[in-house]
């Protein structure tokens, strides 16, 4: 085929001896149209135009679409489309089934070499997986059952141990068992028990009085010894504030001594001494002078005398 224009157009013959493609080619050349121009006007590809003009219907779409191409091409060339469509139907009958390509989303089952489909192996794998899951469930259930049994046994053991630790009451011998007393006898027994209790209380009171007297007799020498030997003497040359506390924190002495004065305090050691004017104070404890320098800060001393 060529795109060259024919100067002497020939009217296409509508005889059965002339092919459909030859009629279209003759009509195009008579109109002085190129294949490209026809392709642009019909919005078909150049290959489809050439297939129509060469009767290559195998390169064209299905029959319905091809008939539409022929009808539009004949209308463009001012030709009668019915004879052309009749020729096409004679060549390509309508009852020829077209190949319908259907793409399915389902995966085809492949056949193995021995003729068994692969779904058997898939089914076997699923059964194996189900078996593993059942085994895991059974193992987990067995472990929980064992733990429950162990806890029950442990609780039972604890209960038995508690019962074994509960000592039974000691039963009196038959000779020491006394029959239940009558109401009159019970009153007599109650009076006797009350009298015995009062007697025991009197004895206890007498013993406590004797012990108190003995402790007082022992304490008198200690007090005398404390008052005589464990004395604290304080002499000051200037006005000084003095405080003395005993072991329990009770203030035994608290006074502001005048200048050039002295005083004595008796008490059981340890004694806690607080001196307000150290440089003007002399302290004597148990006949010995106390060095306050190591316990002084800002001319105030705090010291424990033992």
Separation between Cα atoms, residue 196 and residue 190, nearest integer Å: 10
Question: What pLDDT score was predicted for residue 140?
Answer: 80
Q: Determine the Cα–Cα distance for residues 7 and 146; give it in Å rounded to an integer.
A: 107
SS3 for 253?
strand
| Spatial CB neighbours of 279, under 8 Å, sequence gap ≥ 6 | 238, 299
Indicate yes or no: pTM above 0.85. no
The H-or-E segment that residue 232 falls in is strand 231-236
The label of the residue with tokens 């104070």 reads 281
Q: Model confidence over 36-80: pLDDT tens digits?
A: 999 999 999 999 999 999 999 998 999 999 999 999 999 999 999
84: Cα within 13 Å, side-chain hemisphere: 27
Separation of alpha carbons 27 and 145, rounded Å: 95
- Among all chains, which residue has been given the structure tokens 């058997």? 120
How buried is 271 (Cβ within 10 angstroms: 0-12 exposed, 13-18 middle, 19+ buried)? buried
| Cβ atoms 14, 83 nearer than 8 A | yes
d(CA 285, CA 138): 89
Hey, do 20-91 and 227-305 end up sharing a CATH topology, with the first three levels equal? no
Q: What is the band of 109 on the pLDDT scale with cuts at 50, 70, 90?
A: very low
Average pLDDT over residues 21-28: 93
pLDDT at position 306: 85
pLDDT bin (cut points 50, 70, 90) of residue 152 is: confident
Q: Any idea which residue has 């001393």 for tokens?
A: 301
pLDDT bucket at 226, cuts 50 / 70 / 90: very low
The reported pLDDT for the residue numbered 15 is 43
Q: Which CATH number is correct for 20-91, 3.40.50.460, 1.10.260.40, 1.10.287.180, 2.170.16.10?
A: 1.10.260.40
pLDDT tens for 230-255 read 578 899 999 998 998 988 889 989 99
Specify which residues 245 forms β-bridges with. 251, 272
Residue ranges per domain, the chain? Answer: 20-91, 227-305
CATH code linked to domain 227-305: 2.60.40
Phi then psi for residue 186, to 5 deg, are -65, -40
Q: Which residue, among 243, 255, 231, has the nearest Cα to 302 in the 3D structure?
A: 243
Q: How many helices (H) and strands (E) does the chain have?
A: 7, 9
Structure-block tokens of residue 245: 């506390």
């Amino acid at each position: 085929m060529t795109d060259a224009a024919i100067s002497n157009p020939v009217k296409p013959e509508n005889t059965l001896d002339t092919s459909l493609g030859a009629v279209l080619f003759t009509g195009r050349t008579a109109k002085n149209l190129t294949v490209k121009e026809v392709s642009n006007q019909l919005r078909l590809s150049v290959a489809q135009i050439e297939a129509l003009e060469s009767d290559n219907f195998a390169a064209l779409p299905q029959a319905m679409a091809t008939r539409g191409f022929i009808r539009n091409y004949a209308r463009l060339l001012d030709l009668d489309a019915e004879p052309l469509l009749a020729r096409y139907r004679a060549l390509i009958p309508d009852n020829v089934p077209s190949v319908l390509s259907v793409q399915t989303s389902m995966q085809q089952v492949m056949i193995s070499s021995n003729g068994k489909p692969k779904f058997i192996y898939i089914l076997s794998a699923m059964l194996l997986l189900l078996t593993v899951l059942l085994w895991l469930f059974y193992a987990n259930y067995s472990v929980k059952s064992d733990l429950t049994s162990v806890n029950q046994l442990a609780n039972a053991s604890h209960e038995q141990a508690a019962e074994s630790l509960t000592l039974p009451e000691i039963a009196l011998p038959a000779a020491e068992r006394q029959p239940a007393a009558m109401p009159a006898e019970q009153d007599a027994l109650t009076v006797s028990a009350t009298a015995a209790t009062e007697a025991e209380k009197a004895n206890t009171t007498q013993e406590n009085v004797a012990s108190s007297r003995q402790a007082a007799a022992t304490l008198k020498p200690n007090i005398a010894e404390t008052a005589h030997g464990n004395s604290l003497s304080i002499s000051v040359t200037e006005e000084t504030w003095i405080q003395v506390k005993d072991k329990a924190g009770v203030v035994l002495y608290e006074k502001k001594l005048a200048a050039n004065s002295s005083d004595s305090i008796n008490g059981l050691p340890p004694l806690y001494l607080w001196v307000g004017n150290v440089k003007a104070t002399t302290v004597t404890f148990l006949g010995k002078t106390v060095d306050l320098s190591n316990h002084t800060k800002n001319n105030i001393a705090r010291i424990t005398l033992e």
